[in-house]
Amino acid sequence: MAGFKLSAGVGLLGLAASALAAPAPVYSEPTTTFSVPKVTAPVEPVTNVTSHGPYTGPPPTTTGALSTTVLAPSIPALPPGPDAFKYPSDGQLHAPQPAPYTPAGGVGTNGSAPVYKMLSDFDYQSIALALYQEWIELDLFHWGLDRFSVEDFEKAGLTAEDRHLIEYMANQEVGHATLLSNMLGPSAPNQCNYNYPAMNVHEYIDFCQKVTRYGEAGVYGFLNHLNAHDVGQMLLQSITTEARQQMIFRQFEGLFPTPEWFQVGIPQSWAWTLLAPYISSCPANNTRLVWQNYPALHILNQPNPFRINGSNVWNETTDGGYANTAAYRDIEENDDCTKTNATGVSCAPAISRNRSMPLSYPGRQVFLEWDEPGKPIGPNNSYVTDTQAGAPKFAAWVSQLNVTYSPLEDIKGNSAYTVQPDVSTFDGNPAINGTIFLVLTDEDLYVTPFNLTQLNPHVYAVGMYQSG
| Per-residue DSSP letter, 393 | -
Beta carbons within 8 Å of 10's beta carbon, 6+ residues apart: none
- For the packed helices 201-222 and 268-275, what is the interaxial angle rounded to 10 degrees? 160
Task: Indicate the helix (H) or strand (E) that contains 240.
Answer: helix 229-252
CA nearest to 221, candidates 48, 430, 449, 388: 449
Q: What amino acid occupies position 443?
A: E
Beta carbons within 8 Å of 128's beta carbon, 6+ residues apart: 184, 188, 189, 287, 289
> What is this structure's pTM?
0.91
Residue 22: predicted pLDDT: 60
Residue 12: predicted pLDDT: 35
| Per-residue DSSP letter, 58 | P
| CA–CA gap between residue 329 and residue 318 (Å, rounded) | 10
In the chain, which residues have pLDDT < 70?
1-28, 30-31, 50
Residue 21: predicted pLDDT: 57
Where exactly are the structural domains of the chain?
121-466
Residue 156: predicted pLDDT: 97
